[in-house]
A = this chain, B = another copy of it.
Amino acid sequence: MEQRSETFGIVSGSGIFPILLAQNLKQAGKRVVAVAHYGETSHSLSDYVDRCVWIRLGQLGKIIKVLKKERASRAAFAGGISRVKMFRGSVLPDRRGLSLLWRVKSVKDDVILRALAEELESEGIEVVSGADYIKDCVPVCNQLTTRGLTEYEAFQAQIGWKAAKKIGEEDIGQTVVVSNGMVVAVEAVEGTDEAILRGGKLSSKRGAVVVKVSKPHQDLRLDLPTIGVGTIEKMKEAGATALILEKGKTMILDPASVIREADEAGIAIALFEEGDFGGA
């Protein structure tokens, strides 16, 4: 009897995370089926998977249908869906999507993702964390760059960490920008890049520290805080000098390039975990 390899589904958003995940899964010998979103997912994803089905935002029923038909035993969510787009109503839910949205009565992305994950699991498809399959991208060390934090940056980091966790508790956002001992920008729906740029404009000449952490109640399987080369570029533009991330809970897309870019710009990337700042 022919040994058939396991089929793995990727529910794909934007950016290179779906591609990285697909590459890693293929290397591990799996058959990979992607459900990709028009206007979000990179067209080149098709080149890295065995099958790629394109859907519109909100066609949740179709996600389930495709993954069942392809007999995926596991699935992961990978890549962001623009919260702004989701939010501005450019979503055309199918029947199952509508019923799900009606049930969760929320447009918060993590609530929707959690509900979608439950639907997939009720159909016998295990939802796993994509990060587990590209472990190199989820660092657990204290420092990524050649340079560590200055004392001044570490002081700012502490202020930002506390604020960012509070904001996460309220499910508002993940990122804050700190300068001169003050939170100068808080991310809500506009996204990390916009918050960094705004923070830069409001920062003192000594520069700013960017803190991005997971929300306390976040389902990390579904939505890991993610940064990439673009984040470092925005930080350069904003005059930010250090990036603070959460150890073991942050996805770094293309870590080699991120670290090189940060080192070249003199930006420090440091990782902490809850206890480090004396808090809970």
- A residues near B (Cβ < 8 Å) are 84, 87-89, 106-108, 162-163, 166-167, 169-170, 172-173, 176-177, 179-190, 198-199, 202, 204-205
* Selected A-B contacts with CB under 8 Å, 9 pairs: A87-B179, A87-B180, A87-B182, A88-B204, A166-B170, A177-B188, A185-B188, A185-B189, A185-B190
Q: How far is the CB of A168 from chain B (nearest CB, A)?
A: 11
Find out whether the CB atom of B170 lies under 8 angstroms from the CB atom of A204.
Answer: no
**Which residues of B sit under 8 angstroms from A108, Cβ to Cβ?**
181-182
**Which residues of B sit under 8 angstroms from A169, Cβ to Cβ?**
166
Beyond contacts A106-B181, A172-B183: 6 other A-B pairs, Cβ-Cβ < 8 A, are A87-B182, A108-B181, A108-B182, A176-B188, A182-B188, A188-B202
Find out whether the CB atom of B204 lies under 8 angstroms from the CB atom of A87.
Answer: yes
- Measured in the bound complex, the distance between the Cα atoms of B89 and A186 in whole Å is 21
Find out whether the CB atom of B184 lies under 8 angstroms from the CB atom of A189.
Answer: yes
Closest to A163 in B: B170
**Which residues of B sit under 8 angstroms from A180, Cβ to Cβ?**
87, 107
Closest to A184 in B: B189
Closest to A84 in B: B202
Q: With a 10 A CB-CB cut-off, give which of A179, A184, A199 has the most chain B CB atoms.
A: A184
When A and B form their complex, which 10 residue pairs have the shortest distance between CB atoms, in order from nearest? A186-B186, A184-B189, A189-B202, A172-B183, A186-B188, A163-B170, A185-B188, A183-B188, A166-B170, A107-B180
**Which residues of B sit under 8 angstroms from A189, Cβ to Cβ?**
182-185, 202
Q: How far is the CB of A116 from chain B (nearest CB, A)?
A: 18
Find out whether the CB atom of A173 lies under 8 angstroms from the CB atom of B190.
Answer: no
Q: How far is the CB of A110 from chain B (nearest CB, A)?
A: 11
Q: With a 10 A CB-CB cut-off, give which of A89, A108, A172, A177 has the most chain B CB atoms.
A: A172
Find out whether the CB atom of A172 lies under 8 angstroms from the CB atom of B190.
Answer: no
Q: How far is the CB of A41 from chain B (nearest CB, A)?
A: 23
Find out whether the CB atom of A89 lies under 8 angstroms from the CB atom of B204.
Answer: yes
